[in-house]
Amino acid sequence: MREMDTFLAEVEKRAYKMAYFAVNDREDALDVVQEAMIKLVKRYGDRSRDEWPPLFHRILQNQIQDHYRRSKVRSIVRGWFGGGDEDDQDEEAMVPAGEPGPLQQNLNGQSMAHLDGAIKKLPLRQQQAFLLRAWEGLDVKETAAAMGCSDGSVKTHYSRAVARLREELGDSLS
């Protein structure tokens, strides 16, 4: 169990950032990551450590998709019965403080905020492919397993994400 704790501590901040990019809400992102971690421990805790990264990222992506489905239903219900989004908060104020991840180490605060904004603008599947490949360092096969799609789809989503980010940020993204 100590090995699982170590693994979860290693992926926690990056998983939160991925979830936050996808759901744009601090509390929802925390819930998504927590649910993913619980499911990994309950369902796959007995598997080898080498299997955990793609399994965890697959579970995380499924949790993000589930969040979108629930949000869509809530939006429909709000539309029927009224209700606004008074609870919306400034997204920039919710960005967590903490030590930088692998990609962040090479960027200063201002360019990181610009990158955050550019990633948030990407369609969800492009976000997923980019974050899993560039931030998590998963290969194409592992990313495909985590996203539940083909290797070719991962390559397409990733290349489109990089192209859009280059348009937004210039050639500083390699």
Q: Same structural domain for residues 42 and 78?
A: yes
Distance CA 47, CA 94 (A): 35
Q: Residue 82 above 80 pLDDT?
A: no
CA dihedral of 22, 23, 24, 28, whole degrees rounded to 10: -140
Q: Residue 60 above 50 pLDDT?
A: yes
| CATH number of the domain that residue 127 is part of | 1.10.10.10
Work out the mean pLDDT of the chain and round it to a whole number. Answer: 79
Helices (H) and strands (E) in the chain, counts: 7, 0
In order of 45, 52, 83, 130, the CA distances from 144 in angstroms are 22, 15, 38, 12
Q: Residue 155 above 60 pLDDT?
A: yes
Q: Same structural domain for residues 105 and 140?
A: yes
Query: 8, 12, 14: which is closest to 102 by C-alpha?
Result: 14
Q: Same structural domain for residues 52 and 118?
A: no
Query: 63, 64, 58: which is closest to 145 by C-alpha?
Result: 58
> Contact at 8 Å (CB) between 22 and 33?
no
The larger pLDDT score, comparing residue 8 to residue 166, is at 8
pLDDT of residue 160: 94
Note the pLDDT tens digit of each residue in 3-32: 999 999 999 999 999 999 888 889 999 999
Of 72-81, 143-152, 156-165, the one with minimum mean pLDDT is 72-81
> Contact at 8 Å (CB) between 23 and 72?
no
Residue 6 domain-assigned? yes
Residue 149 domain-assigned? yes
Query: 116, 114, 132: which is closest to 54 by C-alpha?
Result: 132
- The whole domain housing 174 covers 101-174
How many domains is the chain partitioned into structurally?
Answer: 2
CB atoms within 10 A of CB 16: 20
Note the pLDDT tens digit of each residue in 94-123: 334 444 454 444 444 566 677 788 888 999
Q: Which two tokens stand for residue 36?
A: 């993913």
Q: Residue 79 above 50 pLDDT?
A: yes
Q: Same structural domain for residues 28 and 62?
A: yes
Domain boundary among 33, 55, 83: 83
Residue 58 domain-assigned? yes
Q: Residue 35 above 70 pLDDT?
A: yes
The predicted model gives 55-66 an average pLDDT of 91
pLDDT of residue 47: 93
Residue 67 domain-assigned? yes
Distance CA 44, CA 95 (A): 30
Confidence of residue 92 (pLDDT cuts 50, 70, 90): very low
| CATH number of the domain that residue 43 is part of | 1.10.1740
